[in-house]
């Protein structure tokens, strides 16, 4: 997401493309590529005379890229959520989002507005962030426990599912993890008295005769450090045996949440950055539900996205994109983004960089205070884990890549929860003359290879790694990444890169504007055809 200077064009309303259209291909798409890729993100930013205020708020716009026989077809539709229907029917924003409060009805009296703010308990079902695959079904997801099934062939909106019917929680991540059996793992938050982070598992319905997600169970929980100030988190790390949660200093002020409707404020306005707090690192055994008794802490930081996480040499190796000082994400406001986020260019603390943390699974009883537990471990690199007098372990991480780095993707099927070498990402909040774009980071030797944009009017979204069938090396495959443009006369395109050497194989030009989307999911066409999709 290296922003062009005239980025405002990327945050205007987008038009649906209901019927799949074949795109012009420059170069050659690999003959083996036969997948349906869907991307999720905001596509409608203005409704009537009302506008969303934050990038995370726009109505979900699902794009479909269909690859087969060296061709690509494109289509796009809005998710028909209740938020979409209600907002469009009223021709104003009546369902609040992350950074935008609902707009009061101008026809209502002051008393009626007051009454509605006090007693309205509406939560958005605008599943604008990501996708979850549960068996053969794919759901659009957001950070609430409400998901919406979509038809990958037609992009039609299907039934809505509420996970909180099975495990009580108020929020959850939109970034699920999967084990080798297709079971799904996630973490959510349950607010109120004795608030907790809830760790869940959803059994693959193909393995348990389930119909949907009703086999979701709680596998463990961890109390909030502060009951009225739980952390905000967007993803988590998972190894073969453990789930890792960062409780960062980005905290949700529950007092403000409880009064936000009355005050007419958004959820983001209930966020606070407490730079005096350290980051707590929680480790839960996903097989037993027990929490590791060692108290781990690190300096204040925040992460939206985890890369791979695995176990090696008695340690957990956790890779993630780190923001040193994100404050409350105001730099993702639409006003900032439309201005090209120029104010951020000199602020290194608000740019994400790929980092690694190494967490020891054991601390010997005779370990002296002040000892770096990782000192003799080859896996540690420059990471440290220092034992303090009160028994806690303070962790120090290491930067793995010099280029700003977000939206990490890797060969999930081959190396997830295993030692690995490569992770791919997009440069973000970086707008200099070197035209960075898509990054391949070697996490072992800390080198990187960058595919560069053609010009400063282009921007890239999250690159998605698709493995070559039968490939045995983790970078044996391609990257699919939308390249957007704000230059008059230029067309956006889906870029196809060789994941080994980061060279271009093809550009698939789309005859429609493309938005900044957040995340993507792909399914092999043979699996869709097998299931009648």
- What DSSP designation does 229 have? S
CB atoms within 10 A of CB 175: 20
| Nearest-angstrom CA–CA distance, 104 and 113 | 7
CA 143: distance to chain centroid? 10
Which residue, among 268, 260, 227, 269, has the nearest Cα to 121 in the 3D structure? 260
CA separation for the pair 42, 32 (Å, rounded) = 31
Q: Could you give the CA distance from residue 336 to residue 322 in angstroms, rounded to a whole number? A: 21
Burial class of residue 358, CB neighbours in 10 A (0-12, 13-18, 19+): buried
Query: 10 Å Cβ neighbour count for 350?
Result: 19
Is 305 annotated as a binding-site member?
yes
Longest Cα pair distance anywhere in the chain, in angstroms?
72
Rg (CA), the chain: 23
519 is in an annotated binding site: yes
Long-range CB pairs of 139-143 (<8 Å, 24+ gap) are 140/40, 140/60, 140/62, 140/79, 141/174, 141/176, 142/60, 142/174, 143/98, 143/171, 143/172, 143/173, 143/174, 143/234
Q: Coil, strand or helix: which one is 332?
A: helix
- The pair of structure tokens assigned to 55 is 């990038």
Task: Tell whether 234 is in a known binding site.
Answer: yes
How does DSSP classify residue 86? H
User: Concatenated DSSP letters for 417-432?
Assistant: TS---EEEEE--S--S
CB contact at 8 A, 495 and 476: no
- 532 CA to centre of own chain: 29
Q: What is the DSSP string of 443-507?
A: TTT--EEEEPPSSTTEEE---EEEEPTT--STT-EEEEEEEEE-STT---EEEEEETTT--EEEE
**Using a CB cutoff of 8 Å and minimum separation of 24, what contacts does 411-415 make?**
411/465, 411/467, 411/474, 411/475, 411/477, 412/178, 412/465, 413/467, 414/467, 414/471, 414/474, 415/308, 415/474
Binding-site residues for Fe cation: 175, 234, 305, 519
Binding-site residues: 175, 234, 305, 519
């Amino acid at each position: 997401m290296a922003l062009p200077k005239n980025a405002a064009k990327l945050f205007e309303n987008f038009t649906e493309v209901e019927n799949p259209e074949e795109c012009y291909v420059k170069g050659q798409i690999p003959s083996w590529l036969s997948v349906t890729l869907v991307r999720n993100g905001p596509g409608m930013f203005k409704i009537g005379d009302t506008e969303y205020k934050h990038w995370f708020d726009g109505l979900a716009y699902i794009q479909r890229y269909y690859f087969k026989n060296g061709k690509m077809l494109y289509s796009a539709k809005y998710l028909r959520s209740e938020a979409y229907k209600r907002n469009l029917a009223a021709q104003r924003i009546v369902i609040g989002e992350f950074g935008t409060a609902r707009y009061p009805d101008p026809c209502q009296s002051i008393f009626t507005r007051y009454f509605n703010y006090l007693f309205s308990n509406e939560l958005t079902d605008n599943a604008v962030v990501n996708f979850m695959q549960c068996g053969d079904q794919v759901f659009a997801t957001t950070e609430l426990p409400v998901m919406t099934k979509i038809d990958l062939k037609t992009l039609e909106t299907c039934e809505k599912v509420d996970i909180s019917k099975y495990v009580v929680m108020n929020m959850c991540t939109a970034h699920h993890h999967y084990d080798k059996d297709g079971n799904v793992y996630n973490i959510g938050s349950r607010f109120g008295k004795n608030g907790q982070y809830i760790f869940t598992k959803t059994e693959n319905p193909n393995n348990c005769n389930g119909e949907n997600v009703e086999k979701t169970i709680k596998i463990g929980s961890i109390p909030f450090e502060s009951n009225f100030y739980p952390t905000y988190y967007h993803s988590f790390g998972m190894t073969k045996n453990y789930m890792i949660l960062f409780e960062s200093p980005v905290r949700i002020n529950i007092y403000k949440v409880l009064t936000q409707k009355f005050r007419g404020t958004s959820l983001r306005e209930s966020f606070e950055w407490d730079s005096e707090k350290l980051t707590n690192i929680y480790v839960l055994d996903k097989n037993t539900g027990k929490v590791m008794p060692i108290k781990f802490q690190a300096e204040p930081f925040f992460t939206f996205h985890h890369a791979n996480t695995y176990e090696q040499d008695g340690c957990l190796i956790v890779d993630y994109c780190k923001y040193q000082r994100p404050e409350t994400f105001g730099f993702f406001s639409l006003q900032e983004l439309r201005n090209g986020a120029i104010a951020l260019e000199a602020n290194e603390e608000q740019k994400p960089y790929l980092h690694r943390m190494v967490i020891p699974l054991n601390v010997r009883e005779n370990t002296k205070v002040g000892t770096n537990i990782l000192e003799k471990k080859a896996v540690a690199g420059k990471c440290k884990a220092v034992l303090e007098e009160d028994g806690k372990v303070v962790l120090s991480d290491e930067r793995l890549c010099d280029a700003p780095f977000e939206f990490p993707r890797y060969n999930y099927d081959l190396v997830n929860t295993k030692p690995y070498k490569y992770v791919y990402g997009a440069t973000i909040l970086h707008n200099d003359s070197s035209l960075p774009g898509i990054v391949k980071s070697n996490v072992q030797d800390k080198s990187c290879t960058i595919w560069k944009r053609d010009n400063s009017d282009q921007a890239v979204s999250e690159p998605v790694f698709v493995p070559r069938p039968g490939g045995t090396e983790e970078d044996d495959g391609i990257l699919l990444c939308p390249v957007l443009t704000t230059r008059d006369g230029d067309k956006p395109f889906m870029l196809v890169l060789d994941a080994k050497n980061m060279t271009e194989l093809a550009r698939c030009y789309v005859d429609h504007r493309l938005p900044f989307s957040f995340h993507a999911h792909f399914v092999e066409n043979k699996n869709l055809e097998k299931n009648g999709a």
